[in-house]
Amino acid sequence: MRPHSQRQETRTIPTRPDDARGAGNPRARQRYSDAARAAADPLVRGLVRAGVTPNAITIFGFAGAVATAVLVGFQQWIAAGIVFVIGSVSDMFDGSVARMTGKATRFGAFLDSSLDRLGEGFVLGGIGVALASEGSTWAVGMTFAALAGSFLVSYTRARAEGLGVDSNKGGLMSRTERLVLVGAGIFFGGVGPVLEIVVTILAVGTLVTVAQRLSYVHSTLRDADGTPEDR
């Protein structure tokens, strides 16, 4: 429960035209997403005809993340990479199926976001186990930092939206970049120090993204309220 002092009506904070990009510029990402969805449209229509529900796809993607974590823990890199890609790609279908069937619900969106975070935690946990078995203590530490940073990237967006700042997106390491980086790290996990390098980049990148989003929300709220938000 939020403190009593924060219980207020949520309102949308207007952003300046030059700040509409939020913590990063999502326009290129949006174009890529639109292109990917257009390419996947025949498969989405096939899923709809087969009666597959959006929540079933969400759960399938989460199961893929759990399976990936197990395979990574046993250092079955290629198998883990394939399962990771299948699960990650399926993640783009639940929203499309929901929109096409008119079954988009607030709970479905909540379930999707929650299982995305949990699945990401499982995968990074599996990477941590694999690195620990190799005795790479510093890389395990970087994995913990990457896990915290990844969760905070999502939390800062959600918390900002709760305060009415609806464009706190993007940044150096949003979900798309994290998926690509983790996928590459898993596929090449058995090649030299690749996995250690990947988790280090992920840790630094996510924490920089958190700083970007904090800075953006600070400046937006300061301008909207007319007073500094420092406390």
Q: What is the DSSP letter of 17?
A: G
| Angle value at C-alpha 176, between 42 and 12, nearest 5 degrees | 100
Torsion angle defined by CA atoms of residues 53, 33, 144 and 87, in that order, rounded to the nearest 10 degrees: 40
- Structural tokens at position 56: 């079933």
Q: Which residues are catalytic?
A: 116
Q: Two tokens at 22?
A: 């939020």
Phi, psi of 51, deg, nearest 5:
80, 20
User: What phi and psi values does residue 52 have, to the nearest 5 degrees?
Assistant: -75, 130
Q: Which residue has the tokens 């990148």?
A: 205
Q: Is 230 left (phi over 0), alpha (psi -120 to 50) or beta?
A: beta
Neighbours of 89 (CB within 10 A): 15
Cα–Cα distance, 149 to 73 (Å, whole number): 21
